Amino acid sequence: MTTSNSRPILRAAVGRWPWLALTVVGVAAVVLAIRAFGPGSSAPPGQKWGVDELRIHRTAQGHLLDFRYHVVDADRAESLLAPQTRAYLIHERTGQRLAVPSMPKAGAMRNTGQAKVGRDYFALFNNPGGLVRTGDRVSVVLGELKAELTVQ
């Protein structure tokens, strides 16, 4: 009698382990997904605007800051290249705002016009007195795009 009675209990106990394991794995997957894509995470700064590969570095012996970005969606990136789009840089340590220089004959030192997929575009910012140094954190604002970057 004990043999026939113990088998259903054994089968019931063994039958629960796969479900328990699947439940634990499922909960872990949900937790990881929330951490990766949930409210606490953020998409790359340019993704919403159709650009990626955002980078900034010092150039012209430190007198200028060269911001570059790569267009992946021309329709979404179009607003970044409009001539009336405001562009400036905020130095995080000092809070100082740096502008795009404008030359009398050449105009603003940034790309404007029609966006094309696969092309890189730029904006140059003044860096008076070499205020921004390599390794400093800056926020580049180009229209509605705000990208927090480290100067290379």
Dihedral in degrees, nearest 10, Cα atoms 99, 105, 109, 111: 130
Q: Are 152 and 57 in contact (CB under 8 A)?
A: yes
DSSP one-letter code for 136: -
* pLDDT score recorded for residue 46: 77
Q: Which residues of the chain have pLDDT under 50?
A: 36-41
* pLDDT score recorded for residue 47: 83
Class of domain 47-150: mainly beta
Is the overall model pTM greater than 0.85, yes or no? no
Q: What is the pLDDT of residues 91-108, one digit of tens each?
A: 999 999 999 999 998 889
Residue 150, beta-bridge partner list: 137
* pLDDT score recorded for residue 7: 60
Amino acid identity of 119? R
Give the span between the Cα atoms of 67 and 53, in whole angstroms: 10
Give the span between the Cα atoms of 62 and 10, in whole angstroms: 75
* pLDDT score recorded for residue 81: 96
* pLDDT score recorded for residue 36: 47
* pLDDT score recorded for residue 35: 53
